[in-house]
Amino acid sequence: MLVLSNSSAAILILVATAGNVLGSTVNWWLGTKIEKYKDRKWFPVSEKRLIQAQSYYHKFGSIILLLSWLPVIGDPITLVSGVLKENIYKFLILVTLAKFGRYLVIYLSYLGLFN
């Protein structure tokens, strides 16, 4: 949209950030509800993997949410934060910083500030 239109960069960044944070918040909420189903056959993650993910989260603490912008690992991080009942306000602050930071870096790269 930055390239193909003359939309406001600030609006684009804010809307992209808000949508991404909303999606991560859904993951957090699912995490708060999903652990009660971990013994079900259809549960998508083995107990070993769930314990491993929880161990990483405990090892690094909630600051690991700053990596929630990363592909592949970002969604599991936000889901595990819900499983571990991370405080929603701390979650929202850290995830918003991470997602906003990603879009800001993309925009600054578009402007050529990282050349």
For the stretch 46-90, pLDDT in tens is 778 778 888 888 899 999 999 999 998 899 899 999 989 999 999
Domain ranges of the chain: 9-36+45-111
* Selection from 108, 21, 30 nearest residue 68 by Cα: 21
Using alpha carbons only, give the angle 99, 102, 106 rounded to the nearest 5 degrees: 145
pTM to 2 decimals? 0.86
